[in-house]
């Protein structure tokens, strides 16, 4: 064992930062044995030194400015768990790399927006930039892609990557509660970001998907090309009717390389209720990786929280202590290509919900619109009348998104549609 410890500078003393402190303090001997050298915290940084954080920080030097922490001569690794893709987090991370420090971060937004430039800076200096904690909490999905599946050409990456959204959707389904009620419940429980749209708008999960896509397909991170749709428009009617047809609704991320370019979408989808994704409950995350040699790998676990996220941070720290210097995104940043962004064109079945006027030939007109656009019907159900209106549910066979969109534009001209129809993609898993 090397006598020289690996010295950490910890920027951010929120939930994850304190989790890192507790692991370093509680598992010092175990970490040293596995890393081949001791791992210690030298200095920390946070705005308020007087705040009670339920941890002994008395043995650490204190910096109120994370940029000052990044330049200290007595740290080897800058651990950034502050959050935010601009401002202090970005400046401090850039400064750490310029100062010859390795970086471990849990900041998915920072890497989704600036990952290419940061990776190039790290690799130019022979430094490690690691981010296992930025994607899916305690699930070691970055290590799986960059190491365990490195011999595979990846075909598809998909998963449920935001525990708050999964909590809301599964709670709506289990208790037959409307979205607004469960959203407020999640907010009161502290499950949502200060800006809830980062969660329910799909932005947080979209950041994570763009990072996984970069590793899986050897491309530069392209968060701006991710198709984003949150869960705010998912109604309890959709959840109940989808369940009646054997499906569950999830905020599902899917990335795949096609002949047209790289598809990346984070949108509500239906998945079979008896599939691993369909069975996923509460705040748990699940990532599905498909390689040409290994087939399908399913990784499931806690996607957030003090212990799981700090565990992922420490996995990266221990790799650095062991001397691991893998490229940030699995291959040298200079070799990553700028993928052609592609809107989803892969055919898939669709769930359609609409309300029609209760008059002869109404349903036939809708079926004709679908048929003329090349969309065939797999299942169709008509539910109890609501006055002069008739709720209808249709599940199509596989259809190209453009064909379905063409059919739906023709619905309005039939004169039998009441309100706006709902269309949700069904993902085969």
Cite the active site residues.
208
β-pairing, 6-11 with 77-80? parallel
β-pairing, 129-130 with 341-342? unpaired
Distances from the Cα of 408 to the Cα of 8, 267, 367, 402, 416, angstroms = 56, 19, 11, 10, 13
* Residues 285/139, Cβ–Cβ less than 8 Å: yes
User: Cα separation of 111 and 107, whole Å?
Assistant: 7
Query: Where does 229-290 have alpha helices with state H?
Result: 236-244
Distances from the Cα of 346 to the Cα of 254, 260, 280, 400, 425, angstroms = 11, 10, 25, 6, 11
* Residues 331/218, Cβ–Cβ less than 8 Å: yes
Tell me the angle at which helices 15-26 and 28-35 cross, rounded to the nearest 10 degrees. 80
Going edge to edge, which strands form the sheet with 77-80?
A: 61-63, 39-45, 6-11, 77-80, 102-105, 129-130
**b (16+ CB within 10 A) / e for 366-396:** bbebbeebebeeeeeeeeeeeeeebbbbbbb
The residues that bridge with 227 in the sheet, in sequence order, are 265
Residue 160's SS3 state is strand
- Cβ neighbors of 124 (< 8 A, separation 6 or more) are none
User: Cα separation of 168 and 184, whole Å?
Assistant: 10
Closest to 218 measured CA to CA, from 254, 259, 257: 257
* Residue found by looking up tokens 């390389």 in the block: 257
Distances from the Cα of 95 to the Cα of 23, 31, 100, 290, 335, angstroms = 26, 27, 9, 37, 24
């Amino acid at each position: 064992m090397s006598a020289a410890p690996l010295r950490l500078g910890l920027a951010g003393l929120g939930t994850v930062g304190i989790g890192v402190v507790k692991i370093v303090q509680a598992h010092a001997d175990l970490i040293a044995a596995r890393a081949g050298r001791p791992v210690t915290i030298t200095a920390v940084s946070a705005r308020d030194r007087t705040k009670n954080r339920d941890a002994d920080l008395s043995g650490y030097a204190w910096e109120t400015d994370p940029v000052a922490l990044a330049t200290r001569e007595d740290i080897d690794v800058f651990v950034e768990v502050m959050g935010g893709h601009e401002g202090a987090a970005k400046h401090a991370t850039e400064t750490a790399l310029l100062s010859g420090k390795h970086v471990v971060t849990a900041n998915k937004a920072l890497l989704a927006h600036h990952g290419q430039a940061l990776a190039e800076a790290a690799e130019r200096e022979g430094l490690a930039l690691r981010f296992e904690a930025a994607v899916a909490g305690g699930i070691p999905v970055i290590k799986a892609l960059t190491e365990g599946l490195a011999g595979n050409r990846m075909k598809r990456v998909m998963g449920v990557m935001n525990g708050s959204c999964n909590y809301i959707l599964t709670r709506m389904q289990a208790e037959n509660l409307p979205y607004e009620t469960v959203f407020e419940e999640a907010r009161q429980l502290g499950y949502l970001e200060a800006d809830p749209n980062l969660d329910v708008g799909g932005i947080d999960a979209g950041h994570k998907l763009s990072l996984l896509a970069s590793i899986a397909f050897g491309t530069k991170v392209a968060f701006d090309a991710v198709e984003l749709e949150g869960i705010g428009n998912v109604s309890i009617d959709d959840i109940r009717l989808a369940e009646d047809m054997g499906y569950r609704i999830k905020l599902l991320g899917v990335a795949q390389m096609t002949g047209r370019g790289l598809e990346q979408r984070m949108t509500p989808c239906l998945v079979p209720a008896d599939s691993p994704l369909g069975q996923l409950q509460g705040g748990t995350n699940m990532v599905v990786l498909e390689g040409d040699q290994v087939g399908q790998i399913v990784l499931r676990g806690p996607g957030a929280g003090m212990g799981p996220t700090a565990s992922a941070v420490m996995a990266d720290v221990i790799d650095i202590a062991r001397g691991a210097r893998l490229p940030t995104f699995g291959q040298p940043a200079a070799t990553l290509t700028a993928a052609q962004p592609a809107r989803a064109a892969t055919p898939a079945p669709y769930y359609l919900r609409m309300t029609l006027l209760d008059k002869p030939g109404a349903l036939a007109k809708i079926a004709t619109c679908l048929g003329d656009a090349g969309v065939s019907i797999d299942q169709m159900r008509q539910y109890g009348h609501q006055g002069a209106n008739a709720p209808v549910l249709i599940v199509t066979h596989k259809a190209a998104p453009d064909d379905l969109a063409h059919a739906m534009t023709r619905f309005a001209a039939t004169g039998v549609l009441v309100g706006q129809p709902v269309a949700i993609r069904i993902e085969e898993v």
